Structures are given as C-alpha cells and as structure tokens.
Amino acid sequence: MWTDTIARGRMMKKVTAVLLLGVLLLAGCGPAETPTANAADETEAIPVAALLSSDVIVEGIVEPAQWAELRLLSAVGGAVIEVLVEPGDRVDAGDVIMRLDAAQAELAVRETQAAVAAAQAELASVKAGPRDEQIAAAEANVEAADAALAQAAARRDQLTGGVIKAEIAAAEAEV
C-alpha cells in the first residue's frame, strides 16, 4: 500500500518534469523579434527636475514615552512647609526644591546647650574636689555634649536656611 503511494508520487514528479521541459522548448521556438529600423519609433529621454530635499516644519508637543518617579531622601528630617517646584519642572543638582520646618532642630540645639552647661557644671564641681577618675569622666561628658551640640547646630543650620538640595545623582542611580 505504501509502496504504491510512493511509486505514484515518483511517477507524478517525472510527468511534471517532462511537461515543464516541453513548455519551455515550445516557448523558445517562437518567431524571433525583428529589430525595427524606423528611427521614429525610438523614444527620446527628456530630462526631469528631481526634488532632492525638502524641509518639513511640524508643530506639536513632545512627551516622553516613559516617566521616571524619583524618591528624594534628605540628610535631615522635618515637616515640609513649602514646595518650590511643580511636577514636571526640570531641576538641576543643587536647586532648592522644598523648605523644612526647623522648629524641632532649634529645640534640639537648646536641649543640647543645656546638656553642655550641665556637663560643664559637673566638671567644675569635680575639679573643685579633684579625683582623677571623676575629672576624666566629666571631661568625656563635656566632649560628648560638645559633639552632640555641633551635630544639632549643623542640622539646625541646614533647616534654618530651609533648604533641601535636589540629590539628582542619587535619584538617577535609583532609576
């Protein structure tokens, strides 16, 4: 059964090839075209001006295919009291984009100043009746209080100017 189908397929291929060859031979045996000797029948080429370039002026609005959402992180915390830019505004590194409330930072500076004063008073009392261990501990407390005061003052100074700088490089790294 399979052999009959295969044999029939081979036979059809042979018949198709012979018929195709015959059609090609008949097409090639037709009468040859005689060239026309009449010069009037020839066509003459006419030069045509070509448009090489053109300017196209289009008006419209260009919008990005994709928007990026930025998350800004501040070195100091506080309540936002004023936003200075609108969504879609372009900002550069160092631009002021919002102002923060400095009340908490001011309170922290006052508390730290009180702690420094207390540490200095303790140091003075220890120095009056000196014991080496008490003097060393009191000096360490004064140094720690001074460091805390410097940090609180720096935070206050950042907020007193009311400025958070746009940290574009960090935001781009997140995108």
Give the mean model confidence (pLDDT) for residues 3-30. 81
pTM > 0.75: yes or no: no
Would you say residue 101 lies in a domain? yes
Check if the beta carbon of residue 83 is closer than 8 Å to that of residue 98: yes
Q: What is the pLDDT of residue 115?
A: 93
42 pLDDT higher than 80: no
Render pLDDT for 133-164 as a digit per residue (tens, 0 to 9). Answer: 888 888 999 999 999 999 988 888 777 655 45
Amino acid, single-letter form, for residue 75: A
Would you say residue 161 lies in a domain? yes
**Considering its fold, how many domains does the chain have in total?**
1
- Residue 93 confidence class, pLDDT cut points 50, 70, 90: confident
Helix segments in 35-131, DSSP class H? 103-128
Enclosing domain of residue 114: 80-174
Q: Which of 125, 82, 81 is nearest to 104 (CA)?
A: 81
Would you say residue 2 lies in a domain? no
Would you say residue 97 lies in a domain? yes
Would you say residue 96 lies in a domain? yes
Adjacency order of strands within the sheet including 164-165: 80-83, 96-100, 164-165
